[in-house]
Structure 1
């Protein structure tokens, strides 16, 4: 009897598991990012011609190797993120920081979801929350804002940790 129940549980679990979703982009919406805006530095960094910011192509915890992001991203809280950027050298540069929510949202490719990013420049961006240095007041207490890269929407941080893209000023 236990074996039959375990078998049904496995079948039920297989039916409930969601398939892995790939990025979907609309052919009727104007692309908001791309080659007119970004330049790959070929060293794991992306220069944004519009804002003058330099971005890490990979999420924090990953390394750029032979044109791809390798390893797994590491989710951090804001304190961990601020400590991580101290004295960090990436792509030959120092001065990396946690982006504010406006900077982070400027990366959103509004014609795509799952993730809402230009994968030609940010090849391993996750369908997940990315940390910002911005906060808003909720009932007298600061709440950190995150960007949900699945849809490009700003959210209040509901989790202790989030992924992180690093940025630095170039102008």
Structure 2
């Protein structure tokens, strides 16, 4: 017997396969957005539950609606090196502690009932329908989340994928 969640995933997979990329995002009615995510005045996204600050645009893209530039793609190990260079060069918003997200953190951005891309476009406008690397590298493979359909998997570290950076927010001060 196939469970409800298995049927739902199969339906989403069929939607991804049947709809050309240019057709745009598809979401089920009443879909829940990833919870705890808030757009800040500086354009970043704060995850209040996990105490994380996300860059709104993937690396290589800028603008208030992520409308300028093109997503840069990196092999997994080069992506890790890029983050070090990025922070040494000044980072963003006065912060030099940006990093690649863990697989769990990256998965928290998935809007489960959306495909093409599988994230909330109000929070992450013009989000690429692509596999974004996490920092989880093991031998010759690295973990990613495919934002076409929200699935997570591992693939060859030599493949080039976009990245979205995150940083930990400091703990709130106690009085």
TM superposition score category, shorter chain reference: 0.7 to 0.9
**How far apart are the structure 1 equivalents of 2:21 and 2:102?**
33
Partner of 1:56: 55
Partner of 1:31: 32
CA shift, 1:50, in A, is 1.3
Q: Select 2:65's aligned residue among 51, 55, 68.
A: 68
Partner of 1:47: 46
Partner of 2:15: none
**How far apart are the structure 2 equivalents of 1:79 and 1:123?**
27
Q: Which has the higher helix share?
A: 2
CA shift, 1:83, in A, is 2.0
Q: Deviations over 1:35-67 (max 9, x none)?
A: x5111113231000111100000001112x3x2
Largest Rg, 1 or 2: 1
Q: Please give the residue correspondences for 1:1-171 in structure 2 after superposition, counting only pairs within 5 Å.
A: 18=20, 20-27=22-29, 30-33=31-34, 37-63=36-62, 65=63, 67-69=64-66, 70-86=68-84, 87=87, 88-136=90-138, 141-158=139-156, 160-171=159-170
CA shift, 1:123, in A, is 0.6
Q: Which moved more, 1:113-122 or 1:41-50?
A: 41-50
| Local SS of the residue matching 2:106 | helix
CA RMSD of aligned residues (A): 1.8
Q: Is the 8 A contact 1:59 1:124 kept in 2?
A: no
Structure 1 stretches of 4+ with a deviation exceeding 3 A read none
Q: Which has the higher strand share?
A: 1
**How far apart are the structure 1 equivalents of 2:43 and 2:97?**
15
**How far apart are the structure 2 equivalents of 1:79 and 1:144?**
9
Partner of 1:5: none
**How far apart are the structure 1 equivalents of 2:114 and 2:21?**
18
**How far apart are the structure 1 equivalents of 2:109 and 2:21?**
26
CA shift, 1:19, in A, is 6.2
Q: Is the 8 A contact 2:58 2:71 kept in 1?
A: yes
**How far apart are the structure 1 equivalents of 2:42 and 2:119?**
19
Q: Is the 8 A contact 1:45 1:91 kept in 2?
A: no
